[in-house]
Amino acid sequence: MSLSFAILTALLAIGLLALFFGVVLGFAAVKFKVESDPLVEQIDQILPQTQCGQCGYPGCKPYAEAIANGDEINKCPPGGDITIKKLADLMGVEPKSLDAAHGQEDIKKIAYIREDECIGCTKCIQACPVDAILGAAKQMHTVIADECTGCDLCVDPCPVDCIDMLPVANSSSSWRWDIDAIPIKQIV
Amino acid sequence: MQNSFEDIMEKLDNHELWDFPGGVFPAERKTLSNQTPIGKLAIPARLYVTVKQHIGVEGQIIVDVGQKVLKGQALTKSMNPFAVPIHAPTSGEIAAIHKHVSAHPSGFPELTIEISSDQEDRWTKLFPQIDYQNQPTMQVLTAICDAGISGMGGAGFPTHIKSSPKKDIDFLIINGIECEPYITSDDRLMREHAWQIRQGIDILCHLLKPKHVLIGIEHNKPEAIEALQVACRENTNYRVCIIPTKYPAGGEKQLIQVLTNREVPAQGLPVDVGVIMHNVGTCFAIADAIFSGKPLIERVVTVTGEAVENPGNMWALIGTPVSDLLAHCNYKQTGQNRPNIIMGGPMMGFSVTSDLVPVVKTTNCILAPTDNEIAGNNEQPCIRCSACADVCPASLLPQQLFWHSKAKELDKAQDYNLFDCIECGACAYVCPSEIPLVHYYRIAKSEIRVEQEDKQKSDKARERFEKREARLIAEQQARDEKHRLAAQARKQAMASNGNTAKDKIAAALARAKAKKQNASIVNEKPIDPTEVTLADKSVQEVKTDESNTSTKAASSNQRVQAAITRAKAKKAAAEVTITQTELKNKINTGQIIENKREIKHQGNDVKFASKQASEVKMKDQADVNHSLHTADVSPQPQKQVITDSKQLKITTAVAKAKAKHEAQKIANSQDVPNPVPAAKVNSPQTNISVEPAKTQEQQIDMKKRRIAAAVAKAKAKKSAQIEATSKKDKPS
């Protein structure tokens, strides 16, 4: 009698607890629901935002979503090894070398339109993912150098091949120190 | 809690000072250059004035190549408060405005105004403000800004900004420490121009209203100390403080710590602890600007090192190439394996990449050391001796910074406060493994800066991308909505129209029924004798063989005529095609203007052709009328005549259509090479009739050629693509 009573009370107690926590958790799930996946945001922060599509996805955000869903982290040539390393840190996986199928890491370039040859077809404007090309139909186009991500997407649509990808010129502000230091010796 | 003003003053009264952590005692070697008075350099033939010489932004150039300028004339101007102008260091002509090797460790070319001096050294009109004490503060600040004064100690911060703080100032500290080995430019300046330095301090006091002025001078410059003490004797508010010699006591944060024991917060400014610091050179320049109106166009530069025979200090115009200074001091390359010129001191300076590097406002020393003076680069592994940590004046952990910087672990390096490093070089100096530590920090710092810039750029790119996506989606939605509404409207219209159509059909049916009924009624009517006879007659006549033959004859006649007209039309068309081919040929030769005339001609031709066609038509009609007449004579065969005339009409219509087609073709052949310019070319012609016709023709010619080239290119690209795809397809 007492044994079955004890079992009953224990079961009841556990059951009530389960019910209580279930209600609390259920409430919390509704109340504190996180709309988007924060992991995707974090990955998107790391990706270089060139929106070039070399990874096979239409932009950096879709690739971030794909990585969050288990895709490889080594498909971003503009980001290069630094991005892969950061992604590996974030995802808790081993860093890999860049997948050559998606392209090689290259020096930073931006698009440049040879304005004499531009026929004003607006095809590059439609191709630019970041609206960095200025122009109108039958008017000369030009690239806003500060906004260009160097994604290369405007080069192919150009019917007269007047877009070049030029390396970003070094300036003293972007220059990385690389000189021999001048150590001084004690002369007695 | 920072020290109160009273505590500090009490301690200073007792001739006591604080100390900063770390520090080193390198060989001073100042006697090399501080024994002789400041010399005067001959005006160089060419001066290279770098447009951007200070932290902040550069101004806009307001002179042109070939323009004559006077000494002290402003070369740039800007509305930006962070920009200070540059001035012509001597009178002469602007030889060029181009990129010239810069006084920067990278040596990257930067925008420079090159002046060829006329050796006359004529001043522009100057506007001194001797009664500055009665002028509004703003005007004095403007005068300082217009004189192009930026900090002459090292960083080159615009002085007028530093001199208009928003907070109360306890101490104005004048930095006369000059702690780096070899450099003596401030030392000589203080010895020879203490009076003017004091005048500069007066002006700063007027602007800043500090409670007290401290002039810090290292105790290895007794002559300078004495000179300034004499100069400041009358001002009880000014105090010359003798600072123990220790490198880097001249660092801004270190000197503040020594004098006030206040620590400037990381990423803060001295003004946050109630202190403003100016270099003695800056004070001298301020006095020059206010009392004589002279802008900052020259400064004292120490030329020293054992590779120069006559080391000393020089008044050098801003923009003087290093080669001139070295030549003046007899630079001999004997002690050097390869030329090595250092701009700045041995601890913080950098090797210049060319001897055409110009003197800028922050250049205090040109050092040409022999190989004996400078240690080679024998970097050994770090042995974790922690000597660097002992000497770091900023109390950092240089070892850790070194490890992380070398391993490119930039986040961790930042965690160890990499950006608080003042790059004084004390750690590298004491390192037994001769590791160029500062070098690694500088690389890491610049990499972090580049990374931050990239981050900013990528954030901007993301924002732009997302905005664009949103815009495209919105546009698509708007389009869909429009289409949906249009479809709805159509459907509605259809529905309403459909009803009317049904009604119409019903009405038509009703009409037809009514007609039928009428007809039947007519049939049922008592027969009108005349009508019957007529009808009978016609029926009979149609049936007769005679009438058949006559109609046959008539129709054959008509056919011949129709054939003639067809032939005529064909001929006209052929003519048109011939002229068209001619036209094409001419277009190929590129004589566009002529072609245009030709085209007009063609147009006329075409018109002519169509006219012909219409004539043919008219003729046909006449013929038909004629035939009708003839048919009338033989009263029966109207029906066949009508069919024949119909045929004729069709043929003429065909001819007309053909002619039209040809005309269009011609028009197209004219248009195809440039669908755009047909309109474009015409409009400028009407617009720019004032311009000489020749250039206009040339322009049009050029444009046409370019367009033709573009089209050819596009075609080539297309064919190449087709080829490529076909090649691709082949192997598969």
Q: What is the pLDDT of residues B643-680, one digit of tens each?
A: 556 666 676 667 677 767 766 666 555 544 444 443 44
| Residue B447 Cα, gap to closest chain A Cα (Å) | 6
Q: Give B595 or A24, the one with higher predicted confidence.
A: A24
**Residue B85 pLDDT exceeds 50:** yes
- CA proximity to B214, closest of B13, B402, B359: B13
Q: Nearest by CB to A174, which of B350, B450, B462?
A: B450
Rounded CA gap, B524 and B532, in Å?
A: 13
- Residue A3 within a domain: no
Whether residues A82 and A126 fall in one domain: no
Rounded CA gap, A55 and A40, in Å?
A: 16
* Residues lower than pLDDT 70 in chain A: 1, 36-37, 170-188
| Residue A127 Cα, gap to closest chain B Cα (Å) | 11
- Which residues in B lie closer than 8 A to residue A61 (C-beta atoms)? 462, 465-466
| CB-based burial label for B727 (10 Å; 0-12, 13-18, 19+) | exposed
Residue A33: its pLDDT value, please?
82
Q: Is B347 on the interface with A (CB under 8 A)?
A: yes
- Which residues in A lie closer than 8 A to residue B438 (C-beta atoms)? 181
Whether residues A98 and A111 fall in one domain: no
| Residue B476 Cα, gap to closest chain A Cα (Å) | 14
- Which residues in A lie closer than 8 A to residue B717 (C-beta atoms)? 159-161
**Residue B267 pLDDT exceeds 70:** yes
Q: Give B157 or B377, the one with higher predicted confidence.
A: B157
Inter-chain CB proximity A117 and B706 less than 8 Å? yes
Q: CB neighbours (10 Å) of residue A28?
A: 10
User: Hunting for tokens 């046409």 — which residue is that?
Assistant: B704
Residue B508: its pLDDT value, please?
86
Q: In what order do the strands lie in the sheet with B92-101?
A: B46-50, B109-117, B92-101, B68-69
Whether residues A143 and A97 fall in one domain: no
* Domain's final residue, options A102, A130, A154: A102
DSSP string, B377-412: ----------HHHHH-TT---HHHHHHHHHTT-HHH
Give the pLDDT confidence of B472-522 residue by residue, as tens digits.
999 999 999 999 999 999 998 888 766 666 777 888 888 999 988 887 766
Average pLDDT, chain B: 80
Whether residues A44 and A89 fall in one domain: yes
In chain B, pLDDT over 90 holds for what percent of residues? 45
Alpha helices, DSSP H only, in B150-296? 159-162, 185-208, 222-231, 252-260, 280-287
**Residue B453 pLDDT exceeds 90:** no
Question: Cβ contacts of residue B379 below 8 Å, gap of 6+?
Answer: B433, B434, B435, B436
Residue B174: its pLDDT value, please?
95
Whether residues A113 and A98 fall in one domain: no
- Residue A187 within a domain: no
Rounded CA gap, B714 and A157, in Å?
A: 11
- Residue A58 within a domain: yes
Inter-chain CB proximity B446 and A186 less than 8 Å? no
Q: Nearest by CB to A175, which of B106, B429, B457?
A: B106
DSSP string, A101-161: GG------EEEEE-TTT-----HHHHH-TT--EE--TTS--EE-TTT-----TTTTT-TT-
Q: CB neighbours (10 Å) of residue B99?
A: 11
Rounded CA gap, B363 and B350, in Å?
A: 11
Interface of A with B in 135-164 (CB under 8 A): 138, 147, 149, 159-161
- CA proximity to B152, closest of B376, B432, B410, B360: B360
Per the document, the length of chain B is 732
Angle of helix B185-208 relative to helix B280-287, nearest 10 degrees, comes to 60
Inter-chain CB proximity A159 and B450 less than 8 Å? no
Question: Which pLDDT band holds residue B204 (cuts at 50, 70, 90)?
Answer: very high
Q: Give B677 or B115, the one with higher predicted confidence.
A: B115
* Range in B35-49, B110-124, B334-348 the model is least confident about: B334-348
Query: Which amino acid makes up residue A182?
Result: I
3-state secondary structure of B94: strand
DSSP string, B446-481: HHHHHHHHHHHHHHHHHHHHHHHHHHHHHHHHHHHH
Inter-chain CB proximity A183 and B429 less than 8 Å? yes
Q: Is B430 on the interface with A (CB under 8 A)?
A: no
Question: Cβ contacts of residue B39 below 8 Å, gap of 6+?
Answer: B312, B313, B314, B315, B328
Whether residues A98 and A132 fall in one domain: no
Q: Which residue of A has its CA nearest to B27?
A: A186
Contact indicator for B7, B279 with CB cutoff of 8 Å: no
Can you say whether the dihedral through the CA atoms of A93, A94, A99, A105 is positive or negative? positive
- Residue A32 within a domain: no
Rounded CA gap, B424 and B676, in Å?
A: 65
Interface of A with B in 17-46 (CB under 8 A): 44
Residue B669: its pLDDT value, please?
56
- Which residues in B lie closer than 8 A to residue A132 (C-beta atoms)? 464
Whether residues A94 and A114 fall in one domain: no
Q: Which residue of B has its CA nearest to A118?
A: B710
Inter-chain CB proximity A138 and B676 less than 8 Å? yes
Number of domains chain A is built from: 2
Residue B170: its pLDDT value, please?
92
Q: Is B98 on the interface with A (CB under 8 A)?
A: no
- Residue A177 within a domain: no
Question: Which pLDDT band holds residue B183 (cuts at 50, 70, 90)?
Answer: very high
Residue B384: its pLDDT value, please?
93
How many angstroms separate the Cα of B263 from the Cα of each of A156, B180, B253, B268, B677? 58, 22, 7, 10, 71
Residue B708: its pLDDT value, please?
80
Interface of B with A in 169-188 (CB under 8 A): 181
Q: Which residue of A has its CA nearest to B446?
A: A176
Contact indicator for B321, B358 with CB cutoff of 8 Å: yes
* Domain's final residue, options A63, A78, A102: A102
User: Hunting for tokens 């012609």 — which residue is that?
Assistant: B685
Inter-chain CB proximity B377 and A181 less than 8 Å? yes
- Residue A48 within a domain: yes
Per the document, the length of chain A is 188
Inter-chain CB proximity B710 and A117 less than 8 Å? yes
- Which residues in B lie closer than 8 A to residue A59 (C-beta atoms)? 465, 469
The neighbouring-strand residues paired with B301 are B314
Inter-chain CB proximity B465 and A130 less than 8 Å? yes
Question: Which pLDDT band holds residue B79 (cuts at 50, 70, 90)?
Answer: confident
Whether residues A68 and A50 fall in one domain: yes
Residue B497: its pLDDT value, please?
67
- Best residue in A36, A42, A49, A50 to probe B by mutation, most B CBs within 10 Å? A49
Residue B75: its pLDDT value, please?
93
Rounded CA gap, B171 and B286, in Å?
A: 19
B109-117 and B365-367 beta bridge pairing: unpaired
Inter-chain CB proximity A183 and B375 less than 8 Å? yes
Inter-chain CB proximity B351 and A179 less than 8 Å? yes
**Residue B172 pLDDT exceeds 60:** yes
Residue B701: its pLDDT value, please?
79
CATH number for A75: 1.10.15.40
Q: Mean pLDDT, to the nearest integer, of B138-155?
A: 89
How many angstroms separate the Cα of B730 from the Cα of each of B27, B34, B717? 78, 83, 20
Question: Which pLDDT band holds residue B3 (cuts at 50, 70, 90)?
Answer: confident
Whether residues A93 and A52 fall in one domain: yes
Residue B208: its pLDDT value, please?
92
- Which residues in A lie closer than 8 A to residue B453 (C-beta atoms)? 174
Q: Is B719 on the interface with A (CB under 8 A)?
A: no
**Residue B334 pLDDT exceeds 70:** yes
Tell me how far the alpha carbon of residue B552 is from its chain's centroid: 86
Residue B603: its pLDDT value, please?
46
- Which residues in A lie closer than 8 A to residue B102 (C-beta atoms)? 172
CATH number for A115: 3.30.70.20
Inter-chain CB proximity A159 and B349 less than 8 Å? no
User: Hunting for tokens 């004084």 — which residue is that?
Assistant: B424
CA triplet B83, B84, B89: central angle to 5 degrees? 145
Q: Which two tokens stand for residue B498?
A: 């459909």
Residue B687: its pLDDT value, please?
43
Residue B89: its pLDDT value, please?
94
Whether residues A123 and A83 fall in one domain: no
Residue A6: its pLDDT value, please?
92
**Residue B722 pLDDT exceeds 60:** yes
Residue B55: its pLDDT value, please?
74
**Residue B630 pLDDT exceeds 90:** no
B365-367 and B342-343 beta bridge pairing: antiparallel
Whether residues A120 and A79 fall in one domain: no
- Residue A176 within a domain: no
Residue B316: its pLDDT value, please?
94
Whether residues A71 and A127 fall in one domain: no
Question: Which pLDDT band holds residue B686 (cuts at 50, 70, 90)?
Answer: very low
Q: Is A116 on the interface with B (CB under 8 A)?
A: yes
Question: Which pLDDT band holds residue B351 (cuts at 50, 70, 90)?
Answer: confident
| Residue A106 Cα, gap to closest chain B Cα (Å) | 15
- Residue A6 within a domain: no
Q: Mean pLDDT, to the nearest integer, of B181-202?
A: 94
Q: Which residue of B has its CA nearest to A51?
A: B465
- Which residues in A lie closer than 8 A to residue B104 (C-beta atoms)? 172, 175
Residue B546: its pLDDT value, please?
45
Q: Is the pTM higher than 0.95?
A: no
Which of A18-22, B533-537, B605-609 shows the highest mean pLDDT? Answer: A18-22
Domain encompassing residue A64 = 38-102
Question: Which pLDDT band holds residue B684 (cuts at 50, 70, 90)?
Answer: very low
Rounded CA gap, B641 and B626, in Å?
A: 11
Q: Is B465 on the interface with A (CB under 8 A)?
A: yes
